[in-house]
Structure 1
Amino acid sequence: MSEAGSIIQSSSEKPARLQLRGDWTLQHYAHLQAQLTRQPGSADGYSLDLSQLGRLDTAGAALLGRWIGHERLQQLTHSQDLPAERLALLRTVAEALPHIPANARPAKHAAALELLEKIGGAVEGYWKQLRALLGFIGLALESLFLCLFQPRRWRITSLAAHVEQTGLNAIPIIVLLTFMVGAVVAFLGATVLANFGATIYTVHLVAFSFLREFGVLLTAILMAGRTASAFTAQIGSMKANEEIDAIRVLGLNPIELLVLPRILAMMISLPILTFIAMLSGILGGAMVSTLLLDISPTLFLGILQTDVAVKHFYIGLAKAPFFAFIIAIIGCLEGFKSGGSAKSVGDHTTSAVVQSIFMVILLDAVAAMFFMEMGW
């Protein structure tokens, strides 16, 4: 059983002797400190006996060294009959003590300086992330152009598999979500417009919102959460298992093999899913209009045909390839940045989703301002 360290003073001998007993370890650190506070301020006039000393670790040796001084501790390594490993520990602590400041507490900074430091670190991190993203975009475009005119390097099988995973398998969730959102938009729009006797304009609200914004935006956000995370996890796991290193050893290009099929699959799938989302959202709005507003499906379709220009459909659909490209790029980049641990893969997967959603919303806002200024 572990016995707390103690100091026994014997004044019957000349010179007076201090005998160290028990375990001088981190477990008994507080008890040992209390023992030393009851001892004389200096141990210079006493001889030290370590023959009854129990277990000893770095914490106990450092506490002893601070009490008697590093020079005296160094002398003990020559005068005491102790095991070799214990002498080596005391000698190491004695050599290190002179280099440890008396007060090793970290310097305190003003709160304003700490805030500025955190802001500067965050800005630097964002700048590095932007540079990495732009560099990876350039690398992907370079690989795309190099493969474009060499059909033998096209990965048709991989492309088809990723189109199925990112596009075909995502149709149910896209249809369900956009249908429900379309119904909610129609219901809320009708509630507000009824106060002005303009319930019929609920059709315009649903059509404009889903053709220009909601169709592509909701689809892109869903794909960012569903597909960007999958890309990061897949590539991150391959990197953790050293499969990407094996690809390079075989003389293959990881960008061409892993990144391009995913980017092209997203750029094919997202416009198709956006079109489906537009139809589903408008269908949800039409259902609410028919059941609650007494707007027949024929009237609903007639208003769509006469009052809603087809340019709104083109504007919404034109955003889809850009959103798809940035989502796939971020997902693949975070996968290549992940380390060899499961935690690193998980952290970069979360980062890929957050960055993808942020970039999608940012690009959508920029596109909305551009189209507004152009009068489209």
Structure 2
Amino acid sequence: MERPADFTLQAATDHPTVALSGDWTARSLGGAGVSLAESLDGLANFAVDLTDVRRLDTAGALAVVRAAGASFDLARIRGRPEALRLLAVVEQATREEPEARRPPRGFHEMTVRIGKGVVGFGHDVLDTMNFLGHLLVVVARSLFWLFVSPRRIRWPAVFSLIERAGLDAIPVVAVATFFIGAVVAYIGAGMLQQFGAEVFAVELIGISMMREFNIVITAVLLAGRSASSFAAELGAMKMNQEIDAMKVMGVDPFEALVFPRFAALLITIPLLTFVATLAGLLGGIVVTWSVLGLGPAFFLQRIVDNVGITHFWIALSKAPVMAGVIAGIGCRQGMDTGGDVESLGRRVTAAVVHAIFSIIMIDAVFAMIYKELDL
């Protein structure tokens, strides 16, 4: 049975003596170390008697060394040899200053940062593959329930996210693409007028807006609007341990949180692409009508005859990939949020940056593929 650490001090003699008793261990020390230090404060040439100490560990030895302070002298301590050796080791450890490691500089610092970046990139790739695999399993399961038992899908969450991520984004997408179409028309008309080919500004506007700008601008706006929102929402839930609570209750967070967001963007991004196409063409019509004198009827007829609908279907074929990337990146960053606000801020920023970078890269890959297919 453990006995609490205790001591008695005989300070009335010429050679004060403090006798320790009990167990001077981490579990039994309590406030004996502080009391010993207060009792020995101002005393010098005192002796320490450890013969009645049953057990002594590093915590008790450190308390004795700190209480003795500068007056610590192993020659004035009585006790078992193993106790004296432990005190000597602890006292020597307290006198040694930790060696400050010099931070790497120059080429060494560069190699360290490159190494950390490579390792971090590898961990991100593994985490991304894990997230993607889990998401694909949930999507396949949801598609199965869609045909077998549609009631098992969380339709209220899906429709709510469709409204927030899709319908509420129509004004900003329409305004942005309207002005982009107007800018493309204004610059194209100014350049083509030098060669007397201003009529081809219609083809320039039609191809650029129906093939590239409609889907790219829509995806970029959704990356800044929806990916950050998804990361912030899931990150806040992760900080409040709501996601852990869902796992404890047997609810799959991917099925309850990630899939509705994925489905919402998958449904709404074609609608937003169509709105962006109409707004961009309207901006081009306004500029060509006011600057070149080409009426709306002529503009639309030339779009139908020389541009066609193929470019719009090419842009629409990119929509599911863009939706999956935006929703996946936003949800993954949210699910990887730590327990502090700083981590949440970094994850939201990373969600937007990674989503925009991925959109531009995917669009470039599609452009090369359709170039090889002669589309």
Instruction: Tell me if both proteins adopt one fold, taking TM over 0.5 as the criterion.
Output: yes
Q: After alignment, is 139-148 or 175-184 more displaced? A: 139-148
1:92-128 per-position Cα deviation (integer Å, ceiling 9, x unaligned): 9944345435xx3434656223212212222222222
Q: How many residues align?
A: 300
Counterpart contact for 1:74–1:94, Cα < 8 Å: no
Distance 2:115 2:168 in 1: 43
Q: 1:141 aligns with which of 125, 131, 136?
A: 136
CA root-mean-square deviation: 2.7
The 5 A counterparts of 1:1-376 are 51=42, 73=70, 75=72, 94-100=91-97, 104-107=99-102, 109=104, 111-150=106-145, 151-376=150-375
Distance apart, 1:133 and its partner CA: 1.6
Distance 2:121 2:103 in 1: 27
Give the letter for the 2:127 counterpart. A
Partner of 2:28: none
Change (3 A) 1:78 1:349: farther
Change (3 A) 1:109 1:316: same
- Name the SS of the counterpart of 2:72 in structure 1: helix
Give the letter for the 2:141 counterpart. L
Change (3 A) 1:78 1:306: farther
Change (3 A) 1:146 1:192: same
Distance 1:235 1:184 in 2: 38
Counterpart contact for 1:158–1:261, Cα < 8 Å: yes
Distance 1:108 1:136 in 2: 36
- Name the SS of the counterpart of 1:173 in structure 2: helix
Distance 2:103 2:246 in 1: 50
Q: Percent identity?
A: 40
Distance 1:78 1:224 in 2: 73
Distance 2:172 2:143 in 1: 33
Counterpart contact for 1:73–1:94, Cα < 8 Å: no
Distance 1:145 1:349 in 2: 28
Distance apart, 1:72 and its partner CA: 9.1
Distance 1:131 1:182 in 2: 41
Per the normalisation by structure 1, the TM-score is 0.74
1:270-324 per-position Cα deviation (integer Å, ceiling 9, x unaligned): 1110111011011101100001111111110111011003211110011011000
1:112-166 per-position Cα deviation (integer Å, ceiling 9, x unaligned): 2321221222222222212212221110110121232222321111110010011
Counterpart contact for 1:186–1:206, Cα < 8 Å: yes
Change (3 A) 1:203 1:76: farther
Distance apart, 1:73 and its partner CA: 3.8
Distance 2:361 2:125 in 1: 14
- Name the SS of the counterpart of 2:132 in structure 1: helix
Give the letter for the 2:97 counterpart. I
- Name the SS of the counterpart of 1:203 in structure 2: helix
Give the letter for the 1:266 counterpart. L
Q: Which structure 2 segments of 5+ residues have no match?
A: 1-40, 44-67, 77-87
Change (3 A) 1:95 1:157: same
Change (3 A) 1:124 1:284: same
Q: After alignment, is 226-235 or 150-159 more displaced? A: 150-159
- Name the SS of the counterpart of 1:149 in structure 2: helix
Give the letter for the 1:303 counterpart. R
Q: After alignment, is 271-280 or 143-152 more displaced? A: 143-152
Distance apart, 1:234 and its partner CA: 0.7
Give the letter for the 2:316 counterpart. L
Change (3 A) 1:300 1:250: same
